[in-house]
Amino acid sequence: MATASHHHHYNEGVDAAFMRNHRGEVCIAFSDPAYVRAETILVDCKDCSIHAVLHENAHLLGHVSEGMAEAFVHNREALLTAMRADGTVFELIAPVHIENGKACARKN
């Protein structure tokens, strides 16, 4: 069986999962550890899209809900994590930059 058990967003570009813990902190889990080295995470409030800036190029990670986008706006930093080939976890923290507004939700 060569089928992958997790979802790959081929049309979205980078394979990434977005998480938020009970304290409201945000985390992006990548399938490719290279993206953990992103210099910045960009949140575009116009369409709730999240990008990782790596080597001065912005890579689309996907579109998130307004609530998740708000969590990124409030945090100003995100935990980036991935599993290395040897099974150890690689994680770094990157600053969050907001584009097209200070808030993603309609309520502000």
| C-alpha neighbours within 13 Å on the C-beta side of residue 73 | 21
Task: Tell whether the model's pLDDT for residue 37 goes beyond 80.
Answer: yes
pTM value surpassing 0.95: no
- Residue ranges covered by each domain of the chain: 12-93
Residue 12 DSSP SS3: helix
The DSSP secondary structure of 81-103, one letter per residue, reads EEE-TTS-EEEEEEEEEEESSS-
Give me the pLDDT at residue 9, please. Answer: 39
pLDDT tens-place string over residues 40-90: 999 999 999 999 999 999 999 999 999 999 999 899 899 999 999 999 999
CA 60 vs CA 1, 23, 28, 36, 108: distances in Å: 30, 26, 13, 14, 25
